[in-house]
Amino acid sequence: MLKLGLNIDHVATLREARYRGREWGEPDPVAAALVGEMAGAHGITVHLREDRRHMLDRDVWKLREAIKTRLNLEMANAPEIIGIALKLKPDVVCLVPERRQEVTTEGGLDVAGHWKELAETREKMNDSGIEVSLFIAPDAAQIEASARVGAQFIELHTGAFAEHFAQERERDREIERLVTGARQAHSLGLKVNAGHGLNYQNTPQIHRVPHLNELNTGHSIISRAVSVGLPVAVKEMLSLMENYPG
């Protein structure tokens, strides 16, 4: 079964647009996470950025206490955030690149160029009972390096696929890259997730990619929720993920 990791970062983005710097505000990402769980999401994903642009420390601690499914903490390989993760003990951390000027995470980690540092963090997390995922492009060298790091998961960056979805030739090329990457990762013993830019139009095409465990998506679901409500938006996405051939 293909699982849904509901990313609730942009619930916090909306709150911070009006209530930044306050100890309260709406909408509440923790409440959204609980609604998402009740609607069928298999896990909750959040990105605690170094600049705290959306999710705040208090949010992730409340989430750790409140949710019943898996907590996936996206994070930079930065000392402060590593320290928080080791105390928070999410079920899994997904190490991602982080640049202050970007609106959302663009591009994957350069695991091949930084595998030793990433391996050190992976070891710390695993020693604390936390699984590790690496957010990477579907590139052979990066996948091989992810296995060398000892990560349990990779998350294939689907941004290029999403960006080229309207151009059939380019879309099919990006799907083939994802297919090849998923097969390579599976052969190396890595579990495979995917995410970035997935929405209600392009998600069915992801069924062509084998060995997927989970899709992490948020912006499209939160946007859809403005019109139909979060429970309906989550259930609609889940319906698009049904009958995944694996």
Pick the catalytic residue from 47, 98, 155, 174.
47
CA distance 126 to 60: 20
As a dihedral over the C-alpha atoms of residue 240, residue 217, residue 82, residue 114, rounded to 10 degrees, the angle is 90
Instruction: Find the catalytic residue in 10, 54, 74, 214.
Output: 74
Position 112 in a domain: yes
pLDDT in tens, 127-164: 999 999 999 999 999 999 999 999 999 999 999 999 99
Q: Is residue 108 part of a domain?
A: yes
2-19: pLDDT as tens digits: 999 999 999 999 999 999
pLDDT at 121: 98
- The pLDDT of residue 102 is 47
Contact by Cβ (8 Å): 208, 172: no
Q: Is residue 246 part of a domain?
A: no
Q: Is 196 a catalytic site residue? A: yes
Q: Is residue 20 in a domain?
A: yes
In CATH, what number is assigned to the domain containing residue 152?
3.20.20.70
Task: Report the percent of the chain where pLDDT is more than 90.
Answer: 94
Which domain does 93 fall in, by range?
A: 3-241
Please tell me the pTM assigned to this model.
Answer: 0.94
Is 169 inside a domain boundary?
yes
Question: 47 catalytic, yes or no?
Answer: yes
Choose, from 42, 54, 157, 196, the residue flagged as catalytic: 196
Active site annotation includes 114 = no
- Separation between Cα atoms, residue 72 and residue 187, nearest integer Å: 24
Q: Is residue 146 part of a domain?
A: yes
> Greater confidence, 17 or 246?
17
Distance from C-alpha of 8 to C-alpha of 149, rounded to nearest angstrom: 28
The total of structural domains in the chain comes to 1
